[in-house]
A and B are shown apart, each in its own frame.
Chain A
Amino acid sequence: MQENDIWSECETYDREQFRKVQSERLVDTVKRVYEKVPHYKNKFDQHGVSVEDIKSVDDLSKLPFTEKKDFRDNYPFGLFAVPQKQIVRFHASSGTTGKPTVVGYTKNDMTMWSEMIARIVTMAGVTDEDVAQISFGYGLFTGAFGLHQGLEHIGAAVIPMSSGNTEKQIMIMKDFHTTALISTPSYALHMAEIAREMGVDPKKDLFLKWGLFGGEGSTEAMRREINGAWGLLATENYGMSELIGPGVSGECLALKGMHINEDHFIPEIINPDTGEVLPEGAVGELVITTISKEALPIIRYRTSDITSLNYDKCDCGRTTVRMAKISGRSNDMLILGGVNVFPAQIEEVLFNVDGIGPHYQIKVFKQGYLDRIEVDVELIDANYLDSFGKLENLNQTIKHKLRTVLGIDAKVNLMQPRTLQRFEGKAKRVIDMREDK
């Protein structure tokens, strides 16, 4: 592991200090939302919990959950705890169905947000010496602006590139001596592909050292692919607009989980079916309570993301709790013939097969009463063209490896390179054509 600085002393608190700050801030947040947000007042009342019941972080589980639906039901500003006058920024999530999720920030929220990002980019290796190219789309999406402020805050030179126009991205990267790339992992892979087509060797012709990826989950296999393609060190960071945007947690250079900014976000792991809080180390759905936000405090938000928590002190010196890579989303889990499968598992398999590219698409449909799955992958290695038998063997290998995670046989479609859709933002890899999911 490489040595690097720790941005804030809060990242090295002992458990007792965390407990103290979390308890104080939680009590204050609960009081505030009860007074200022009718939604929470009604919900707490219905749930039979009063503000006085919450005395410390130990009482957290007495509170009701907040869900994505609550944002929709209170669209656009119903969950805000401050008058509009105090809002200095809006963001919104894309929202694949219906209205977007709207979030707001006060001046203090913006300062806090920059501080969270400063911690995360510092732990990912970035310093004021670096030139950071932000290839997230600028706009309502929180990713670009979030990283932007935090990177400026630590003194890095920011290139607000936005996503798209990939050839120009590569040109700027080369000419501005970009040392840190900020994007979704799938877009990073696409950019590497374009760079090679342009005759640019990312390892020789570019200056990249760090890659900070987020906006969608990724696997270890994908990290290896990105590291190999760019010659950089990829870290992942995590967040969602409902909670703040990026800045909830991030990986340090030890690469052993994402450090949660615990003095601002309290994590819990629950059983997604029963809502029961699970013990330390157990795998389940991540629930986050924000304890310092002014405009939009959120109590026990169900993220749908599946992970686990590790409270051991990290090799990097930080003591903040680490969450494991997201292994799936409780709502993007595919149920295939009764077997639960996360797209991330399929991805892990595909990334470990030689001869095929990093892009893929999963199609699920019904044939009669049976679930069928097709996986499209791109053949990139010409050596499989020696004989049809070699191609068939490759197909069988993929099929066989997929069977071990899927439990059923997938049809594997080998395709020409560049025929599958490329994504500049979050990748949409799964098409579920079954009527009732």
Chain B
Amino acid sequence: MGIKQLSIFVANEKGTLADVTRIFREHEIDIRAISVYDTVDYGILRTVVSEPEKAVEALAKEGIVSKLSDILTINPEDKRGSLNDIFTLLGDNDINIDYIYSFLVREDGSQLFVLKVNDKEKAQELLEKNGVEIIREL
């Protein structure tokens, strides 16, 4: 088990993000993390929400395509160079990072990072062995 991320197809049109957030609001789903990169015509909204399965269902009802996937979420030590250590470790072991985004947990002030890598199991094992905290539940 791990934290699930929702990938949602969004067209680059006025109001598409609000369409998604409105659905979350109506179904009382909380957004923990959100990320969209700049694209021309369309893109993928990545988000971590309070009830991912319920979110997929609510979106589908409104005709919005979304996909759930397991992602690697880490809580790196809050010290200079810790991300550099992590990226170097992954790189040295042939693990590629497709994308990364971070979010803050208000309750304890920790900053978590969501990583999409080409080999999640291997990355997780490697990071754990090297003392990086893996977050399995929010």
Contact = CB atoms under 8 A, between A and B. Distances in A.
Interface of A: 197, 379-388, 391, 413-419
Interface in B44-70: 44, 61, 63-67, 69
Nearest to A380: B65
B92 interface: no
Contact of B9 (A197, A413, A414): A414
Contacts of B66: 382, 385
Given A414-B11, A419-B11, A388 B67 contact: no
B11 A415 contact: yes
Contacts, number: 54
Interface of B: 7-11, 16, 37, 39, 41-44, 61, 63-67, 69, 98, 116
15 contacts: A379-B9, A379-B65, A380-B65, A382-B67, A385-B9, A385-B66, A386-B67, A388-B37, A388-B39, A413-B41, A414-B42, A416-B16, A417-B63, A417-B64, A419-B11
A387 B41 CA distance: 15
Contact of A382 (B11, B39, B65, B116): B65
B74 to A, nearest CB: 20
Given A385-B7, A385-B8, A416 B43 contact: no
A419 B37 CA distance: 22
Contacts of A382: 7, 9, 65-67
B33 to A, nearest CB: 16
A415 B13 CA distance: 10
B69 A386 contact: yes
B11 A416 contact: yes
A384 B16 CA distance: 19
Contacts of A379: 9, 65
A288 B98 CA distance: 61
Contacts of B16: 416
A38 to B, nearest CB: 56
A387 B61 CA distance: 23
Contacts of A413: 11, 41-42
A385 B11 CA distance: 13
Contact of B65 (A197, A381, A386): A381
B42 A391 contact: yes
A415 B116 CA distance: 25
Nearest to A411: B41
Given A385-B44, A388-B43, A416 B65 contact: yes
Contacts of A381: 65
B1 to A, nearest CB: 20
Nearest to A197: B61
A380 B64 CA distance: 9
Nearest to A383: B67
A384 B98 CA distance: 15
B44 A388 contact: yes
